Amino acid sequence: MGLSPLIAIPALAQVQTLSEVIVTARKRPELFRNLPMTASVFTPQTIKSANITSARDFIAMVPNMTLVQTQNVGNAFVTIRGISQARNSEPSVAVIVDGVEETDPEEFATELYNVRQIEVLKGPQGALYGRDAIGGAIIITTAPPADHFEGNVTVGVGNGPAERARGTVTGPVNSSGTLKYRASVNFYNTGGYLQNVYLHRKADPYRDYSGTFRLLWQPNASWTLDLRPFYDLVHTTAYYYVIPRNNEANPFATFTTPPNANDITSPIQTNNLGTDNRDIIDIPLKVDYRPGFGTFTSITDYDQTKEIDTGDAYDFRPIKGSIAYNVFFAGIPAALGGPFDESQSQFVRVRSWSEDLRFTSPSKESFTWIAGVYFLHKERFISTDNIVDRGLGVPAVYETPIVNPANPFATNTNVTFLADGQKSNAWAVYGDATYKLTQRWEVDLAARYDQDKVSDTTETPPYFLAMVLDPTAYTGEVRTQTWGAWQPKFTLRYQPNQNWTLYTDWSRGFRSGGFNQTGVGAVARANGIKGVNDTFNAEIADTYELGVKGDMLHDRLSVDADVFHTHSDNGYFFVYLSQNSTQNLGNLNATYKGAEFQITAYPTDHLQVYAGYGYTDSRITKMTDPSVLGNQAPLVSRDTINAGAMYQHHVWANLKGTARLDFQNIGRTWWDPYNVTSRNPISLVNLNLSLQGGRWTVIAWSKNLTNTLYNAEFSPGGFLWRALPRRYGVDFEYRF
């Protein structure tokens, strides 16, 4: 009844309606309203008007989807319909950029620019996108090289203080236009937003340099070669956690203060600012050959990620007020430099090579199909350690610990050190067949088999390995395990007319298992922690879904709704062991039931409004500790609300103004299997105002406009990670 004012409006809007959007979720182009799955799509217009520059920006606009960025720049946890991820784990969603899958989850937390479209697919998508698509998939399409020379430059300033500079040039290389390029560079720098009360400076300075070069060669109608190297370098900080005390003067109060995910009064007070340096190199090559009866595609990718983090250690306080100084090392005599505090360091290096070969039949047939094979080789090294801290900074420890045989507690020597090297070889075969039974009925059957063989080599030196309490562990030990699973998907689509799509599907997702660092199982058992072993199992998730989407009122009103039921075996949960400063995964089973509803309306030629609601009820059904049965699964937000409006209007001559307001409410959120605390619902508002001329645009923006203060994460052990407060700024873009 509230929609009646829409009936009399003109039939064509200036804003792009969802009915016009082309998506590639099933690896072939089709209209969004014909897509038989739950998805959110962000067009160029939305990306620009909402000032989407990172993953957190578009995820904040998707029902039943949240993002936690914590600890260090590479740690970003996506939770979608309850399926979550954790530190050093495989991702919960597959991320595909221009058809190339990201093989390292640390690549996800990068700046977004030159992006043309983003598609977020919900529910297991492993049948087409493989392992790690257990919760869904994110498909990012970047802007292609242009047919004529053009470019743009953007500069901006903001609070923090912050500055941004970005530039792109694109065009043909040769006169025939068969070879084209697109080159972009990006710089972002901020002094930070979160205050460290002990160091009297910001805890979170951030500097990012990145660039991409895309070369597209189309010598004739049959061949396309697409090379897109990317580089990203970040300098920031890490480990500025908060662990509240109800009596700050009493170090032992750390152990007796009840966990509270809603504490925003305890300050950041680490005595080490720390460092976090990450660099990423990604070189993908996509080749398409079209002989006339379909398309052969080859996607080859090499990428490398290196990240070194240093900072304060548990319990993240100045030296003389810390637990380490007053409890753990209080007995170290002064002759050995005691007592002292601890700092920490972690180094991760990942290299991978992948190849995807497939054939896609022509799209304009009643029967279409895709068949392919995939191979991935990955090498990963990780070292984690605690270091003697006497206020002289934190050294970066890579592959070799710092040892002083004459004094094991000398300044900046290692107290603990664990290192593991992993090699994995994964392969897959997959296929998808779609058959139009009639003009209204379509059936889609897809399946993929993934196998992942992982070998883990203990590289911890014997002296430090003796501290892990596992007498069977030894330096050079090789642990090998293979995980594999079929990932089928069956979809039935019914279209009563060209405006409506009803669908139901059953799908299975698979996420590979892995190895915690050597000996952590023994440490966990010695400290009464259940469910954490040296190995964690692969996860399997089965989902049943029923959905409907369609357009009404001459495409002025779009509706998308669904209900789902997911059962997960061996989902991940996270445990931090302060005894050896390791980050570990355990397994649990859970059931997720929920629903989503999205509506987009165009009341006038210049106004777009949208609203979405997502609900997920989770229940733990099995874990090593039976006391958690029936609890909410970790990192699950019970419900989410997403809403907003965009208004565009020509204010004078060729000047166009745009105003956009986006609102997000994240419902009550649980963080660990024991549900020791939950975060209250939070509401966030983003505002963007722009004025566009012929070649220029000025944008005034604010994220978290109302300055809502909250914790982005609560981690078991009482660790709190502060979310960013209000940010704002002005950007100027010039196009040529």
Query: What DSSP character marks residue 331?
Result: T
In a domain, 374, yes or no: yes
Q: Would the pLDDT of 12 be above 90?
A: no
Q: Give the model confidence (pLDDT) of 42-74 as tens digits.
A: 999 999 999 999 999 999 999 999 999 888 888
Residue 5 confidence class, pLDDT cut points 50, 70, 90:
very low
Residue 653 confidence class, pLDDT cut points 50, 70, 90:
confident
In a domain, 714, yes or no: yes
Query: 10 Å Cβ neighbour count for 135?
Result: 31
Query: 10 Å Cβ neighbour count for 639?
Result: 18
In a domain, 265, yes or no: yes
The answer to whether the beta carbons of residues 376 and 447 sit under 8 Å apart is no
Please report, rounded to a whole number, the percentage of residues in the chain having pLDDT higher than 70.
97
Among candidate residues 193, 273, 190, 276, the one with its CA nearest the CA of residue 233: 276
pTM, whole model, 2 decimals?
0.93
| pLDDT for residue 265 | 95
Residues with Cβ within 8 Å of 347's Cβ and at least 6 positions away in sequence, in order, are: 306, 307, 308, 309, 381, 382, 383, 396, 397, 398, 399
Higher pLDDT, 155 or 576: 155
Residues 166-191: what's their mean pLDDT?
A: 96
- CA 436 from chain center: how many Å? 35
In a domain, 149, yes or no: no
| pLDDT for residue 388 | 95
| pLDDT for residue 405 | 86
In a domain, 497, yes or no: yes
In a domain, 148, yes or no: no
What strands lie across the sheet with 115-122, from one edge to the other? Answer: 39-42, 115-122, 136-142, 93-97, 100-101
Which CATH number characterizes residue 346's domain? 2.40.170.20
Q: What is the mean pLDDT of the chain?
A: 92
Residues 267-271: what's their mean pLDDT?
A: 97
Residue 106 region by backbone torsions, left for phi larger than 0, else alpha for psi between -120 and 50, else beta: alpha
Q: Would the pLDDT of 11 be above 80?
A: no
Q: Give the model confidence (pLDDT) of 99-158 as tens digits.
A: 989 888 888 889 999 999 999 999 999 999 998 899 999 999 999 999 999 999 999 999
| pLDDT for residue 666 | 97
In a domain, 151, yes or no: no
In a domain, 53, yes or no: yes
Q: What's the token pair of residue 87? A: 């530190």
Please report, rounded to a whole number, the percentage of residues in the chain having pLDDT higher than 90.
81
The answer to whether the beta carbons of residues 583 and 556 sit under 8 Å apart is no
Q: Give the model confidence (pLDDT) of 553-572 as tens digits.
A: 988 999 999 999 999 999 98
Domain count, the chain: 1
Residue 134 region by backbone torsions, left for phi larger than 0, else alpha for psi between -120 and 50, else beta: alpha
Q: Hey, which residues does 388 pair with through a beta bridge? A: 342
Determine the structural domain holding residue 493 and report its residue range.
4-143+158-735
